[in-house]
Amino acid sequence: MERVVEIAKQVWASTFKHKASVQIVDGEVMIDDYISIAPGKVEFRRVSLLGEEITEEDGYVVTLWKSIPATYMDPPDVDEVHLGESISAYDAVEIAAQAVLSDICHGVFESMSYAEYIEEQDAYAKKAKLAIKNQY
């Protein structure tokens, strides 16, 4: 698991320009307290001229822990999202990094969408004010 910690720290520092909190907690690697890479049995598929063989091998299970805010009827909760599995430490960290990148992209595009919506609403409000002003 120490190798996964090293790889994750390198990737987060070079890709996200962020010194991530990467530590081993109860045998799992926790990245920024919301992504875990845990050892586990993983199905591995080998394809050859003789056919396909599926075996179970030691590998890594990557999980995202997502906070769910409280509602009127329900208390706050944490949801476990299975991101993927791999027999390679590099691939496991890649799965985690792709999830973070996806969240970053979602935030950027959502912000761009809101900004565009606000501009449209401002333009509509100006047209409405001008129309009202021209009526009188």
By the 8 A CB rule, do 93 and 8 touch? yes
Handedness of CA 22, 24, 28, 33 (dihedral sign): negative
Q: In this predicted structure, what is the pLDDT of residue 27?
A: 92
Q: In this predicted structure, what is the pLDDT of residue 37?
A: 96
The three-state DSSP-derived secondary structure of the chain is CHHHHHHHHHHHHHHCCCCCCEEEECCEEEECCCEEEEEEEEEEEEEECCEEEEEEEEEEEEEEEEEECCCCCCCCEEEEEEEEEECCHHHHHHHHHHHHHHHHHHHHHHHHHHHHHHHHHHHHHHHHHHHHHHHC
Tens digits of residue pLDDT in 78-127:
888 999 999 999 999 999 999 999 999 999 999 999 999 999 998 898 88
pTM, entire model: 0.76
Task: For the chain, give every domain's residue range.
Answer: 2-135
Tens digits of residue pLDDT in 43-86:
888 888 888 888 899 999 999 998 888 989 989 898 889 999 99
